[in-house]
Amino acid sequence: MHTFPDFRCSAEAMGLAGILFSLLSMWVALGRGRWLIRSAIGVAALGLLLPLHAYQPIVFFSLAGCSSVVLLGLLRFLGRRDQVGRRHSRTAPPIWRRLTFWSGALAGLVVAAAVVGWAVRVYWNMGSLETLLVFLPVYFTIQIVAMLFGDSFRLGPIVVTRCDSVGQSYRLSDAMSAIVLLAILFLINMLAQQRDPVSQWSSMLSAAGMMTLATVSIAALFTAVRLRWRFVAMVVFSIVLGLAFQFGAVGGKWLMQASALSFLPGSPYHVMIWTYAAALLMTTLCVATAGWLRYRQLDSPTECSTRRLATIASWTLLTLYAVCLFPIAVQMARPLAQPDPIAGDVTVYERLETKMAELAMLNPKEQTLQEFANDGRTERANKIAEAYASIRRTARQTFRAPDPFAVDADFTGLGQKLNVFRSWARCMDKEARAKVKAGQFSDASDSWLDCISVGHGLGRGSDVSYALTGIATEGIGQEGLVRIRNDLSVEKLAELLPVLIAIDGERESLESIKRRSDLVMDREMNWQYRLAMYAPAHLSGQSPSETTTLVSPSIDATEDAIHRRDATLRMLMVEFAARLFDAKHQRLPTGIDELVPEFLPSVPIDPFSDTPLIDRPTETGFVVYSTGTNQIDDGGAFGDITTLHQDDYDFDLDTLIRATKPIGSGGFGGMN
Q: What is the mean pLDDT of the chain?
A: 80
Is residue 295 assigned to a domain?
Answer: yes
d(CA 294, CA 76): 9
d(CA 234, CA 341): 60
Least confident of 45-59, 290-304, 480-494, 563-577: 290-304
Is residue 471 assigned to a domain?
Answer: no
Residue 359 — very low, low, confident or very high, per pLDDT cuts 50/70/90? very high
Q: How many CA atoms lie within 13 A of 18 on its CB side?
A: 29
pLDDT value, residue 238 = 83
Report residue 158: phi and psi, to 5°: -100, 130
The residue among 63 and 166 whose pLDDT is bigger is 63
**Of the ranges 123-132, 245-254, 343-352, the best mean pLDDT one:** 343-352
pLDDT value, residue 102 = 65
The residue among 128 and 320 whose pLDDT is bigger is 320
Instruction: Say whether 27 sits in a helix, a strand or coil.
Output: helix
Q: Among 287, 154, 269, which residue's Cα sits nearest to residue 207?
A: 269
CB-based burial, 612-649: b 16+ in 10 Å, e otherwise: bbbbeebeebbbbbbbbbbeebbebbbbbeebeeeeeb
In Å, how far from its chain's centre is CA 618? 47
Tell whether the model's pLDDT for residue 612 goes beyond 90.
Answer: yes
- What digits encode the pLDDT tens for the residues 314-335? 999 999 999 999 999 999 999 9
* pTM of structure: 0.75
Q: How many CB atoms lie within 10 A of CB 209?
A: 17
* Share of residues in the chain with pLDDT > 90 (%): 31
Tell whether the model's pLDDT for residue 662 goes beyond 60.
Answer: no
The answer to whether 496 and 575 are in contact (CB under 8 A) is no
Q: How many residues does the chain have?
A: 672
- What digits encode the pLDDT tens for the residues 417-453? 899 999 999 999 999 999 999 999 999 999 999 999 9
Tell whether the model's pLDDT for residue 273 goes beyond 60.
Answer: yes
Is residue 452 assigned to a domain?
Answer: no
pLDDT value, residue 117 = 60
Is residue 77 assigned to a domain?
Answer: yes
Residue 661 — very low, low, confident or very high, per pLDDT cuts 50/70/90? low
pLDDT value, residue 173 = 66
pLDDT value, residue 291 = 81
d(CA 204, CA 255): 8
pLDDT value, residue 1 = 32
Report residue 91: phi and psi, to 5°: -110, 145
Is residue 431 assigned to a domain?
Answer: no
pLDDT value, residue 34 = 80
> Mean pLDDT across the stretch 629-657?
84
pLDDT value, residue 502 = 94
Q: Any bridge partners for residue 85, and if so which?
A: 161
Tell whether the model's pLDDT for residue 165 goes beyond 50.
Answer: no
d(CA 478, CA 482): 6
The residue among 130 and 419 whose pLDDT is bigger is 419
How many angstroms separate the most distant Cα atoms in the chain?
111
d(CA 605, CA 213): 61
Is residue 612 assigned to a domain?
Answer: no
- What digits encode the pLDDT tens for the residues 32-57? 778 888 889 999 999 999 998 888 88
**Of the ranges 103-107, 113-117, 453-457, 460-464, the best mean pLDDT one:** 453-457
Q: What's the domain count of the chain? A: 1
The residue among 38 and 85 whose pLDDT is bigger is 38
Tell whether the model's pLDDT for residue 648 goes beyond 70.
Answer: yes
Q: Is 482 exposed, middle or buried, given 0-12, 13-18 or 19+ CB atoms closer than 10 A?
A: buried
Is residue 309 assigned to a domain?
Answer: yes
Q: Secondary structure of the chain: what % helix, strand, coil (to 5)?
A: 65, 5, 30
d(CA 649, CA 626): 10
| Angle in degrees, 0-180, between the axes of helices 378-395 and 441-458, rounded to the nearest 10 | 60
pLDDT value, residue 636 = 82
Residue 173 belongs to what domain range? Answer: 6-330
DSSP string, 483-544: HHGGGS-HHHHHHHHHHHHHHHHTPPPHHHHHHHHHHHHHHHHTHHHHHHHHHHHHHHT--G
Q: Residue 572: which H helix or E strand, with range?
A: helix 552-585
Is residue 643 assigned to a domain?
Answer: no
